[in-house]
Amino acid sequence: MDFELNEDQLAYSEMAKAFAEKELTPHAAAWDEHQHFPLDVLKRAGDMGLCGLYTPEECGGLGLSRLDSSIVFEQLAIGCTATTAYLTIHNMVNWMISSFATATTKTQWSEVLSSGQKLASYCLTEPNAGSDAASLKTTARKNGDKYLLNGAKVFISGAGATDLLLVMARTSDEGAKGISAFAVPADSPGISYGRKEQKMGWNCQPTRTITFEDVEISADTLLGNEGDGFKIAMQGLDGGRVNIATCSVGTAQAALNHALRYLHERQQFGRELASFQALQFKVAQMNTNLVAARQMVRLAASKIDSKHPDRSTYCAMAKRFATDACYQICDEALQIFGGNGYMKEYPLERYVRDSRVHRILEGTNEIMNVIIARRILTEETNQIV
């Protein structure tokens, strides 16, 4: 087992780092302050292949592994957490289209999504269906050779600014087995968008409620077969959990980088902060937890790549550990800065705000514990190696 990055992975990392340093880092604070969704930068990200990292090459993507993609997302998140988080959502939808959509839908959407010419949103969560996604109420009822879509989705990233909505809707009353997935043009008649939500973090990407009222969609927009939606959603969420955990790792690395510089620059009691043992111990713990989180995330990504039977459990463990540990690292970095860390002049408070939601989305960390416990308590062989 080799934990070192190979030449290709190092090249992907350097490419992403260069893009982040040029296009993300200099603007992240202003985007956050003004709630600006950087569509021009996302288009340039598409030009670099960053909108279709693990979408197959025949669909316009780079065809990278999930591990390689994680390495790229980590470097991007060092530059801007919220923009990178949106890119991970877009990549997930793009992969779903390329993997499960009809030939007609792939032809219409795959290449323009991969190039960043068009952007996508993922529509699963509802007002009364968050952690219990199988209880969603949005319906897609057959109407001749089409479907009529009715219902509402909440907390949708990019809503109102994107071109394609991947919508999970109920086509029968059979619980999780009655859920189907549809690729819906975002400007379809009958779709309306709520106000832009005022959030604690992730301010540079719009988040809105979407309402569907008798939205007529073609049968060609169905992904897979009727009833495949929940299965598709869960496969997408395995990767989504690795992606969002990776964003936490990148953000924590950025926070630690700032803290280490500050420890050498700042003096108290006639000594630089780096000379105080209490702070030395603090950064030692932060760095150790960061390395542990990174390795768990990369392990989970490799389990997706190898189609390991326990990949969902690994993804849940990585998401739970990394998002908790990395949020704590960001908070500790802010503490090292003292009062300065609480000021918007420095990025530490933004790192804390932006990373906090990672413990909630793609399945709350409490739900991650349910997934992990269910696996190790109900299987005859409970060892996960």
Residues identified as active-site: 362
Beta bridge partners of 223: 181
φ, ψ of residue 166 in degrees (nearest 5): -95, 110
Residues 247 and 362: their CA atoms lie apart, in Å, by: 12
φ, ψ of residue 153 in degrees (nearest 5): -125, 150
Residues 371 and 369: their CA atoms lie apart, in Å, by: 5
Q: CB of 227 within 8 A of CB of 177?
A: yes
Strands (E) in the chain, as ranges, are: 120-123, 139-143, 146-157, 164-170, 179-185, 191-193, 207-218, 222-223, 267-268, 271-272
Q: CB of 138 within 8 A of CB of 152?
A: yes
Q: Is the dihedral of CA 93, 135, 377, 357 positive or negative?
A: positive
Q: Quick one: which of 218, 229, 102 has its CA closest to 177?
A: 229
Show Cβ contacts of residue 273 under 8 Å, excluding neighbours closer than 6 positions.
262, 263, 264, 266, 267, 279, 336
* Residue carrying structure tokens 């592994």: 65
Q: Quick one: which of 148, 156, 105 has its CA closest to 127?
A: 156
Q: CB of 63 within 8 A of CB of 54?
A: yes
Q: Quick one: which of 258, 246, 245, 234 has its CA closest to 337?
A: 258
